[in-house]
Structure 1
Amino acid sequence: MMLLLILVLFGIPEYRYCAPAYIDPDTIIKPEHIQRDVFELKDDVTRALDPRPPPEVSDQDAQEFLNDLGFLNGTYPSDEILTRADHIDGDAIATALKQFQKLYQLPESGLLDDDTRRLIAAPRCGLAELNIVPDRWTKQLLTYKIRSFPANFDPSTARHLIRQAFQQWSQHANLNIVEVSGASADIYVSDEPALHRDRLGQQCIFNRNTTLAHAFFPEVGDIHFNRDRIYSEEEFLSATMHEIGHSLGLDHSISKSSIMFPMHIRYHTEIPEEDRAALQALYGTRRIFKQSIPSATTKNTLKPPKLCSLEKIDTILNDYHGQIYIFAGEYYFALGERNPTGRPISTKWPRLPANIDAAFTCRNRKTFFFKGSKLWVYADNQLEAGYPKLIADELPGLPNHLNAVYVTKAGSILAIRKKHYWFYNPNKRPQVSSHFPRLIYDFKNMPPNMDAALFHTDGSVYFFKNREYFTMDMTNFTVSAGSPLEDKWFNC
């Protein structure tokens, strides 16, 4: 009686009621949300291909955007949109949206869906506002002069980034581009207000704050940065490289991996191969004579590890090509080879740090990497503009410091941290319901503190911990006993 009174007054010790040994998996509510997620999968073109909440884009914003790019005024990509007398305003906008979606390889719904909002809201080049025709320079030595710098940059930093951007282009073609300080130059670089004039006195305008810059084709080539824009160094470098492409005679590309894609959706630190080829078609290939230099050897240089030497993994990833990668520390390993050697992560995913917490590839072919409180998103192994960002902002409801994560067949996300899990449905608001987090013991026999998870192309869900993997039966949500990684994943 006295013991009962003490427990009532002072509470049950924490180690008693938190211990998982007191949880009977057979009495837990089964995770019907996962089963419903599979049953509710539909082939609907309006379903988002991206789990992140879309940016706020109103109908008016979309209409102004489509008009700026010429989809509503008959200048781009065809002149038939508003010339048909049977089009009322609503139909014209829907038609323009379909044209825009078709051009940029989005589902042609004619609706302002999530993926269309993302592209409309992205920072972009203002070249369409200038409406000029591409050309090429007739000489191989070009000069540029910087008249003014963006206000949020130290001039020395901005000058370095501009020089780096020009060098990225000139190293791939028979062009020499140098900065001059004299009175005249072939290309003038300047920071301009929304309403300004070009060197010939013609009026120019930045219609939106999301417009990063615009440039003129040869043989003018001037580059104007938007004074109202606050640039990061990464954005400024990538935007400058894009505009220099115009200055050298390249038009926009509909390839999202190209630096000449009009919406600034990815960070570029070097010129992609497709753009190098386009420049070389105009100016020819620069001959580079490489001199072999003996490399210095360091006695204490650590060799990259072999896959079969790993005691545990950080995460596992199945990319959009079907290739499976293991991540451990600062290395990744491509499965399929016999005991492959690790390669530095940064050589395939630039600016991605080591010791990743979790990762998955989504239905839109984008890869999401988690570490701590931050999220990195890559498309074609190019980092999307603005990343890394906070997990809380990009995938609201999911926690930081994840252990494992995988994407269901319907595109929802199941995330695990220690002995809890969260279910994220991108088509619901809020995406994570108030029922979460829940204990992983909803899944019978699930061990806590998993290292990684994977929804495989074979239709099975696998979990990984230390040197073992586990398979989940999706009919009764039971996790199998652990098996050695060598049985299926490590070809040792």
Structure 2
Amino acid sequence: MMDCLQHIVVLCVIGLSWARTISKQNQIGDVTTESAGIMSTTQLPLHLQEKEYKYLETNGYLSPSVHIEDPPEILEQEVGTAIIKFQQFYKIPPSGHMDNTTRNTMWAPRCGFPDIVRFDNDNNELVSGTTNHRRKRYNAPGGFYKWSNHKLTYSILNYPRRGNHKDWEVRTVIKRAFEVWSEVTTLTFRETKPEEADIRIGFYSGRHSLDKDHPIFDGPDGDLAHAFSPNAGWGKVDGDVHFDNDEVFTMETGNNAGYSFFQIAAHEIGHALGLDHSDDPGALMWPHYHYIHNFRLPKDDLLGIQHLYGKNANNKNGPSIFTVQSPCTKVFDTVVSIGGVLYLFKGSRYWEVWDGKLLSANEGKLIRDNWFKLPSRIDAVYQRKDGKTLFFKGNKYWVYYSKYPVSGYPKRVKELGLPNAIDAAVPIGSRKTFFFKKTMVWRFDERKQKIDQGFPRPIRDVFKGLPHRIRMGFTHYDGHSYFLKGAKYWKMTTRLKTVANAKGEPNEFGMDFFGCPSRKSMKNGILKLENPDNLDIDDEEDELLDDHVEYTHDADLYD
């Protein structure tokens, strides 16, 4: 295997690869079809489509010396050999024909760089499908594509436009992806400014370089990401990592419902450190996307990265299991109290809390399993006095009775007189519901089904003692209302209409409601916090605490 490590080069999306040269096979077919487009006048053998020919060429299975203008018998032999190489790499019985299994494997979500690396007579790597862009195989005599400096820096240039992810969520996942490699090697990683970074991370769509040999993203469910090995001859992008901005990633470590950003990022960082794709289907560096439950760095990847950078002498236990994050580390999207049970929502999942205990497993439950056809990433939710539950997301809202949707919904939020993308909905009293967005609050009359006159008003004019902005809220079975921001909450009694904590210091939601350790102890290493500062990155101007608490006795607000 160590001999194969000599082939480590730039590549992308999933795998630590020791590319192997496979001897040519002579088993070929005898059927030809006519392809469309630029090859419309050329017959491609073995039922091969034009895009499949390009795939074999781009990923290194066809020799750069092969041309579609070659005599049919030569082209057929070369294409048959290329198909066999592909089948052998992906553990498919080698037939030399494009059967359904081969086609389905070929178009699975994957990396946009070649699986097989070819070199010319001067030991330069050839970019598959081209003849004019070459890269040195080694960055030092007898060395590999690797960093000479073991104290590396990185920078995040931009953030994904799809998925409604917070910047701090992305930063947290990327940091953990770097830790996959630093905990088993002598490498260390630190985030810094773009102009100072060794590894730059960005989200792009389509063609995103003037270099015509630069890989191009192809939209959703194709090439998910790619990366460039250090000192590989690509210029400024050497060592960089690019994600397809048309994909929707999930930031939840234990969620296999979408493309796990954590595992894709860890894979791409492996490329940025000098690892190639692996032909081990269980490896992180396998070219195609595959979700690894209870992630621990596989042995194939471990051996490869330690061959390049050595072992971490301080780590006697080997790779850690990157387990599902505890709900104690989460900052939830929204929360609601129904029948004395708290339902905490985050992304596509929810957790149940009752009587100070977490009833759900750490990974939570899928929202769609309890509320039929309800979308993920809910903005706000509350239950009316008639037992129906309203869910808000963006410019729409849904009404559910138990787990079933009420017909005629979703409807537009504006029909209620409310703005889009509200932060929270809190019913107070017998017929008033308060809706929050940024620094404003709307009071809604449930009987009249309209906003009360004089609203919206600033939150601090109505609820003295609350911060400028709150993110969640609910009225519990004890009759009290609770307002949350980050991991902190404020308690209000409807009888006194005041914030209960006279000092104006919010309490810890997870600690008081479902037995989490204190945030202080988590900062000291018991658990890794999703957002240690309890603030949204794009909302840092909001105050977490107020200097003092004032009281309001405006009884009309609640009547």
* TM interval, short-chain normalised: 0.3 to 0.5
Q: TM-score, normalised by structure 2?
A: 0.38
Q: TM-score, normalised by structure 1?
A: 0.43
